[in-house]
Amino acid sequence: MVATTATLTKAQCSKMAAIAHDGLARALDPVHTLFDGDTLFAVSTGAGPAPDDLELHRLLAAAAEVVTRAIVRGLLAAESVQTGGGSWSSYLDLAPSAGPA
């Protein structure tokens, strides 16, 4: 979910959710396959003012950026686990050089 305090119309929220999907495409490959559940929702609390056209475009670009950053942050924070179904290695266990120096 991506959320904003800006007051957005239903159409603007729908557009924000659609553009936030660009963030998935920046971080995941493949993305939007027939076998996954890639879904994003956008919400507006309406606590802030309605954006003008330029502010709206900045908000839409930020929606994609925060989705990308959230995925990467989650990937780097994940830990390896052992379950009854098998062993699942974290990204940093597989590629330790991707972590902090």
Rounded Cα distance between 86 and 101, Å, is: 30
Supply the range of the domain harboring residue 65.
2-98
Strand 42-44, strand 2-4: pairing: parallel
The single-letter DSSP state of residue 84 is: T
- CATH code (residue 67): 3.30.2330
Rounded Cα distance between 58 and 86, Å, is: 43
Task: Tell the residue number behind the tokens 């603007």, with chain if given.
Answer: 12
How many residues in total does the chain contain?
101
Q: What is the mean pLDDT of residues 23-45?
A: 92
Is 48 strand, coil or helix? coil
Structure tokens at 29: 């490959």
Rounded Cα distance between 75 and 101, Å, is: 17
Could you read off the pLDDT of 6-28 as tens digits, one per residue? Answer: 999 999 999 999 999 999 999 99
The pLDDT, as a whole number, for residue 101 is 75
Percent of the chain with pLDDT over 90: 90
The pLDDT, as a whole number, for residue 41 is 96
Q: Which amino acid, residue 61?
A: A
The single-letter DSSP state of residue 44 is: E
Q: How many domains would you assign to the chain?
A: 1
